[in-house]
Structure 1
């Protein structure tokens, strides 16, 4: 237990250093395989609208293919019990009755037993840590207990990484809009507020997101959207 505590402490420090969401997910999957007894494969699964299951940072082809089967059949741990429970154990996929179509296909792919830990639920979206055993009945109480500790660290790190990612994207968006405003201010000799109003007007009249309008102007020096031949910014400015 002392060694496990040290390993979990190391994992927490490693995850804190990462500022990229994908790198965080890969670290979590590697840690799950290293720390949780009897784990042969692991992945993070993201579920959208309780229907589409997406494998992220999968340790191999098996987790990706099993997630694809969940999406195709509309059955499986991530699409059912994992929304209501923090832990789902599947001891034997050959005799699993909760999701018969999924279980039969997953068994044929080579999955024998599974553990799924809920990481987060936001409306109809779900994040789960999925573990795969190489044999029937591979996971026991120790696997569940250690898995819950790893999943708790993973949930916190994943939330932090998403927040950092969103913050970085917001900063990028702000910089691009600032560049576009600067181009318009220099070209048409207008103020910063007037440049923003101009960008907003182009966005509205072309039914294009403001960020896309700003990116095109910043990268090409012009705005030609929706097939119009004349630059909308020039037209809006009266040029």
Structure 2
């Protein structure tokens, strides 16, 4: 049963993750997650996060070199508890690497290259092309308990919600920027070709199809061509 102090700490973590507004963006958020997992989840000594985006594996925000190395071994071997957690299972627990029979190549590498002897992995989130896992590591066998799973699942759930919100906000900001760029380019087309807004949009849409590029990218090229010096100044 999770004690009151841990529940209060989890509540504080939830507020911190959802209210975080750091210039470093997602990197700072991910590091807050791994640091909090080490602090809150019983048995945890090291922590890292694996992200799978468009088939590419990346290890982010490790708390130390040991977590980074275990994550890297999973990526190199293409097997391991974090990958199983990310792709299919919500929780994957390894009590003792000396007796673990799953992922034999990965297990041998962990035993020979790191001091880790038990792990606990949680699926962070899952979308159409993006998923991830929160990976907790310990020196000792049988370091993780049922309470570890309970608290770790709570941390992973809060982390998933915070990551989803952060990426949603980023996508919204990107969409607004694209809209402004397209509007500026449309104004250039209207002025140069003496057409109205509808005609300018249709012309841009046809050009994007003929060139096989997105309208937003076409808009940026039009702006660069019309105001190259001004755009460079804005970017610098």
Report the TM-score, using the length of structure 1 for normalisation.
Answer: 0.82
| Alpha-carbon distance in structure 2 between the residues aligned to 1:35 and 1:128 | 17
| Alpha-carbon distance in structure 1 between the residues aligned to 2:162 and 2:138 | 25
Aligned length: 222
Is 1:73 matched with 2:77? yes
1:130 is paired with a residue whose SS is: strand
| Alpha-carbon distance in structure 2 between the residues aligned to 1:189 and 1:60 | 61
How far 1:101 moved relative to its partner? 0.4
Asked whether the equivalents of residues 28 and 154 of structure 1 are also in contact (C-alpha less than 8 Å), the reply is: yes
| Alpha-carbon distance in structure 1 between the residues aligned to 2:202 and 2:189 | 11
How far 1:159 moved relative to its partner? 1.9
| Alpha-carbon distance in structure 1 between the residues aligned to 2:225 and 2:163 | 36
2:182 is paired with a residue whose SS is: helix
Asked whether the equivalents of residues 48 and 71 of structure 2 are also in contact (C-alpha less than 8 Å), the reply is: no
User: What residue number does 2:136 align with?
Assistant: 131
| Alpha-carbon distance in structure 2 between the residues aligned to 1:154 and 1:214 | 36
| Alpha-carbon distance in structure 1 between the residues aligned to 2:225 and 2:70 | 44
User: What residue number does 2:119 align with?
Assistant: 114
| Alpha-carbon distance in structure 1 between the residues aligned to 2:80 and 2:125 | 17
How far 1:115 moved relative to its partner? 0.5
| Alpha-carbon distance in structure 1 between the residues aligned to 2:105 and 2:213 | 43
Is 1:156 matched with 2:158? no
- 1:169-221 superposed Cα distances (whole Å, 9 cap, x missing partner): 11111111112112222333322222222222221222222222112222342
| Alpha-carbon distance in structure 2 between the residues aligned to 1:41 and 1:83 | 22
Residue in structure 2 matching 1:88, options 89, 92, 99: 92
Distance 1:62 1:212, change over 3 A: farther
Is 1:11 matched with 2:16? no
1:137 is paired with a residue whose SS is: coil
Asked whether the equivalents of residues 21 and 165 of structure 1 are also in contact (C-alpha less than 8 Å), the reply is: no
How far 1:81 moved relative to its partner? 5.3
Q: Which runs of 5+ in 2 are unaligned?
A: 229-236
Asked whether the equivalents of residues 82 and 88 of structure 1 are also in contact (C-alpha less than 8 Å), the reply is: no
Question: How do 1:40-79 and structure 2 match up within 5 A?
Answer: 40-48=45-53, 52-79=56-83
How far 1:82 moved relative to its partner? 5.0
How far 1:147 moved relative to its partner? 0.9
1:37 is paired with a residue whose SS is: coil
Alpha-carbon RMSD across the aligned residues, in angstroms, is 2.4
Asked whether the equivalents of residues 82 and 118 of structure 1 are also in contact (C-alpha less than 8 Å), the reply is: yes
